[in-house]
């Protein structure tokens, strides 16, 4: 078992390595952005899971009785709802995300969740369930056995059926608008958007390129690309850009993990915490009695990752370092955003 201290030290060794390399790091455009119009859609259905060996909805469930009665009537079997006492069946909601450009016959995964008081859906069988979009159109049909094991994480009344639905209707996306494509950043940032626009202008000087805002960049298609739109989009996706990132420090006090962005800086500040004083960019001080306090003095203004590494080498534990970071942020001397998980 890796201790907090070792995990913390390994994380910051990695972050220091990243700090030296990130200025030159480039990523493909397709890894930080997508085309407007290409998106997933949500599907939902109402179904039954059978074969639950007494772990299904209670025998007094009016919903289950009515659903089973209606189901059996579709097979020309007439039985009153009040006469049904099964505990081997559960009423469930079935949900799925259907990606763009799927075709009939493709398979997608589905999630099932109990609506009633079933104790477990493990190893049951989902009966054929139409999955509809918000427009009421059926795009897929789900059916299959629900997995599960003794080591399953999470409630047994929620599960996933990998490839549990067959697509019945294709989902096509429109990504061209007046012979233009719109590029959407997954993490909106004005600097990154500007860099992408500049890159596209240098790569396609004859085309109209415009950064609309922090997340949207538009480019017109070259005339020769109108007959090979896929090839043009592929060439755009493969372009490499240096993305910018906001200054953030993410802290998880429970695990002791701290993730620091390379741009996070610290101003002049003095912090006292449990007998330890940290002076950053300020002269060292003495206590009122004239005795020198336990002071960690940093005459220069370090970045957060430099400060944390220095504090770590002095022997301060992870919890203390996290509290010092919180105090610096509350004093307004941490030039970035501190996020507590």
**Alpha-carbon distances of 261 from 34, 44, 214, 243, rounded to whole Å:** 24, 39, 20, 13
Q: Is 76 exposed, middle or buried (0-12, 13-18, 19+ CB in 10 A)?
A: exposed
Residues 6+ apart with CB under 8 A from 172: 100, 101
* pLDDT for residue 17: 40
DSSP E strands in the chain: the ranges are: 27-28, 33-35, 41-50, 90-98, 107-114, 125-132, 138-145, 158-167, 180-185, 209-211, 216-220, 240-241, 248-252, 257-260, 265-266, 269-273, 276-280, 294-298, 334-335, 337-340
pTM of the complete model:
0.70
Q: Tell me the backbone φ, ψ of residue 143, rounded to 5 degrees.
A: -170, 145
Terminal Cα-to-Cα distance of the chain (whole angstroms): 22
* pLDDT for residue 272: 77
Residues 6+ apart with CB under 8 A from 148: 120, 121, 122, 123, 156, 159
CA distance 104 to 124: 26
Residues 6+ apart with CB under 8 A from 180: 208, 218, 219, 220, 221
Residues 6+ apart with CB under 8 A from 290: none
Walk along the chain (341 residues) and give the pLDDT tens digit of each residue. Answer: 445 554 444 444 444 444 434 456 889 999 999 999 898 999 999 999 999 988 988 888 888 888 888 888 888 888 888 888 888 999 999 999 999 999 999 999 999 999 989 999 999 999 999 999 999 999 999 999 998 655 556 678 999 999 999 999 988 888 888 889 999 999 999 999 999 999 999 999 989 999 999 999 999 998 888 888 999 999 999 999 999 877 888 877 777 777 777 678 888 888 777 777 777 876 655 554 444 456 777 777 777 777 777 777 777 777 788 888 888 888 888 887 888 87
The alpha carbon of 24 is separated from its chain's Cα centroid by a whole number of angstroms, namely 26
CA distance 162 to 110: 7
* pLDDT for residue 285: 55
Least Cα distance to 140 among 112, 97, 103, 169 occurs for 169
Contact criterion met (CB below 8 Å) for 280 and 307: yes
Least Cα distance to 321 among 335, 338, 301 occurs for 338
Query: Which residues are registered as beta bridge partners of 50?
Result: 125
Size of the chain in residues: 341
Least Cα distance to 263 among 214, 307, 304 occurs for 304
* pLDDT for residue 22: 45
Instruction: Please report the DSSP string for 252-275 in residue order.
Output: ETTTTEEEE-TT-EE-SEEEEETT
Q: What domains are there in the chain, each with its CATH number?
A: 26-37+174-241 (3.90.1070), 41-167 (no CATH), 248-340 (no CATH)
- The Cβ of residue 161 has, within 10 Å, a number of other Cβ atoms equal to 21
Contact criterion met (CB below 8 Å) for 309 and 12: yes
DSSP letter, residue 160: E
* pLDDT for residue 151: 52
Q: Is 335 exposed, middle or buried (0-12, 13-18, 19+ CB in 10 A)?
A: middle
CA distance 181 to 209: 10
Least Cα distance to 161 among 206, 96, 91 occurs for 96
* pLDDT for residue 296: 74
* pLDDT for residue 152: 58
């Amino acid at each position: 078992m890796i201790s907090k201290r070792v995990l913390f030290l390994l994380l910051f060794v990695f972050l220091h390595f990243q700090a030296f390399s990130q200025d030159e790091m480039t990523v493909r455009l397709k890894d930080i952005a997508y085309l407007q119009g290409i998106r997933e859609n949500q599907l939902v259905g109402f179904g039954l899971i059978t074969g639950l060996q007494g772990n299904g909805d209670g025998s007094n469930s009016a919903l289950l009785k009515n659903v089973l009665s209606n189901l059996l009537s579709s097979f020309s079997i007439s039985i009153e709802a009040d006469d049904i006492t099964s505990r081997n069946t559960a009423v469930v909601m079935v949900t799925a995300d259907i990606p763009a450009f799927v075709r009939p016959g493709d398979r997608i995964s589905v999630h099932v969740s109990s609506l009633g008081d079933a104790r477990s859906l493990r190893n049951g069988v989902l009966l054929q369930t139409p999955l509809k979009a918000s427009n009421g159109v059926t795009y897929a049909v789900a059916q299959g056995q629900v997995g599960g094991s003794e080591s399953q994480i999470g409630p047994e009344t929620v599960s996933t059926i990998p490839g549990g639905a067959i697509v019945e209707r294709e989902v096509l996306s429109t990504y061209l608008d007046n012979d233009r494509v719109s590029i959407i950043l997954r993490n909106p940032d004005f600097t990154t958007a500007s860099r992408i626009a500049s890159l596209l202008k240098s790569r396609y000087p004859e085309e109209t390129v415009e950064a609309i805002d922090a997340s949207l960049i538009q480019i017109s298609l070259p005339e020769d690309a109108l007959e090979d739109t896929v090839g043009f989009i592929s060439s755009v996706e493969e372009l490499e850009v240096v993305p910018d990132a906001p200054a953030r420090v993410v802290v998880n006090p429970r695990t002791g993990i701290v993730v620091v962005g390379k741009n996070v800086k610290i101003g002049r500040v003095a912090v006292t915490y449990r007998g330890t004083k940290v002076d950053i960019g300020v002269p060292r001080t003495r206590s009122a009695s004239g005795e020198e306090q336990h002071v960690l003095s940093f005459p220069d203004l370090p970045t957060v990752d430099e400060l944390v590494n220095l504090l770590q080498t002095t022997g301060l534990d992870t919890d203390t370092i996290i509290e010092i970071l919180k105090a610096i942020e509350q004093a307004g001397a941490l030039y970035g955003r501190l996020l507590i998980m």
